[in-house]
Structure 1
Amino acid sequence: MTKSSETRATLWVILASATLTVMAGAILGPIVPAIQSSLDVSESLAGLIITTHGALIVLVSPIAGTLIDRVGPRRPFIAGLLLYAAGGGAGLIIDSFIPLLISRAVLGVGVAFIYSGITVLIYDLYEGQRMNRALGLRSSANSVGGVVWPLIGGALGTLSWQAPFGVYLIALPLGLLAVVTVPETGRSKDTTRARSGTGIAGVAAILRRRPALLSVYVLYFAANAFLYSIVVFYPQLLAELGITSSLSISLYLSANGVAGGISAAIYDRLVARTSRHVLVAIALLLWVGAFIGATLANSALTAVPTVVVFGLGQGLVFPSAFAWIEALAPTDRQGQFSSYLASSGYTGQFLSPVLFGLVVPLFGIRGVFGAAALIATLGALTLGTALGRRA
Structure 2
Amino acid sequence: MSKPSLAPKVHLPREIKVLVAGAFLIAIGFGIVAPVLPQFARSFDVSVSAAAIIVSVFGLTRLLFAPLSGVLVERMGERRTYIAGILIVAASSAACAVAHDYWQLLLYRGLGGIGSTMFTVAAMGLLIRLSPPEARGRVSSIYSGAFLLGSIAGPVVGGLLAGFGLALPFLVYAVALVLVAVLVATQLHEPAGARSDAGSPTVGSAPTTAATATAVAATVVADAVQTPVRAVLTLRAALDQSSYRAALVSGFANGWSALGIRMALVPLFATAVLGAGPAVAGISLAVFAGGTAVALAFSGQLADSWGRKPMVILGLVVNGAAMAALGLSSNEAIFFAVSAIAGIGSGLMGPAQQATMADVIGTGRSGGRPLAVFQMSQDLGTIVGPIAAGVLVDAFSYEAAFAMAAVVSVLAVVLWLGAKDTHTV
Q: What's the TM-score once normalised by structure 1's chain length? A: 0.87
- Cross-structure match for 2:403: 370
Match status 1:357 vs 2:390: yes
| 2:179 alignment partner, one of 173, 195, 198 | 173
- Cross-structure match for 1:325: 357
8 Å Cα contact 1:25/1:51 also seen in 2: no
Match status 1:100 vs 2:105: yes
2-structure distance, mates of 1:364, 1:55: 27
- Alpha-carbon distance, 1:28 to partner: 4.0
The CA RMSD over aligned residues, in Å, is 2.7
In structure 2, relative to structure 1, the CA distance for the partners of 1:364 and 1:127 (3 Å cut) is same
Match status 1:6 vs 2:13: yes
1-structure distance, mates of 2:239, 2:17: 37
Per-residue CA deviations over 1:242-267 (Å, capped at 9, x if unaligned) read 211x3332121011112212322323
1-structure distance, mates of 2:361, 2:104: 39
Which structure's residues are more often helix, by fraction? Answer: 1
| 1:307 alignment partner, one of 339, 359, 370 | 339
Return 5+ residue gaps in structure 2 as ranges. 1-9, 197-227
- Cross-structure match for 2:328: 296
2-structure distance, mates of 1:336, 1:44: 34
- Cross-structure match for 1:279: 311
- Alpha-carbon distance, 1:51 to partner: 1.7
- Alpha-carbon distance, 1:142 to partner: 2.7
- Alpha-carbon distance, 1:193 to partner: 5.3
Match status 1:236 vs 2:268: yes
| 1:214 alignment partner, one of 239, 242, 245 | 245
Identity of aligned residues (%): 23
- Cross-structure match for 1:254: 286
- Alpha-carbon distance, 1:345 to partner: 1.1
Q: Which amino acid aligns with 1:173?
A: L
Return 5+ residue gaps in structure 1 as ranges. 198-202
Per-residue CA deviations over 1:300-353 (Å, capped at 9, x if unaligned) read 111012221111111122222222122223753412211211111111111111
Paired residue secondary structure (1:161): coil
8 Å Cα contact 1:241/1:300 also seen in 2: yes
Q: What's the TM-score once normalised by structure 2's chain length? A: 0.80
Greater shift, 154-163 or 282-291, is seen at 154-163
1-structure distance, mates of 2:186, 2:274: 51
| 2:46 alignment partner, one of 35, 41, 48 | 41
- Cross-structure match for 2:380: 347
2-structure distance, mates of 1:19, 1:232: 24
- Alpha-carbon distance, 1:61 to partner: 2.2
1-structure distance, mates of 2:177, 2:59: 18
1-structure distance, mates of 2:414, 2:65: 34
In structure 2, relative to structure 1, the CA distance for the partners of 1:4 and 1:185 (3 Å cut) is farther
| 1:74 alignment partner, one of 35, 54, 79 | 79
Q: Which amino acid aligns with 2:13?
A: E
- How many residues get paired? 377
In structure 2, relative to structure 1, the CA distance for the partners of 1:374 and 1:209 (3 Å cut) is closer
Alignment of 1:375-386 (within 5 A): 375-381=408-414, 383-384=416-417
| 2:95 alignment partner, one of 71, 85, 90 | 90
1-structure distance, mates of 2:64, 2:194: 23
In structure 2, relative to structure 1, the CA distance for the partners of 1:36 and 1:108 (3 Å cut) is closer
- Cross-structure match for 1:185: 191
- Alpha-carbon distance, 1:355 to partner: 1.5
2-structure distance, mates of 1:130, 1:387: 19
- Cross-structure match for 2:131: 126
Q: Which amino acid aligns with 1:110?
A: G
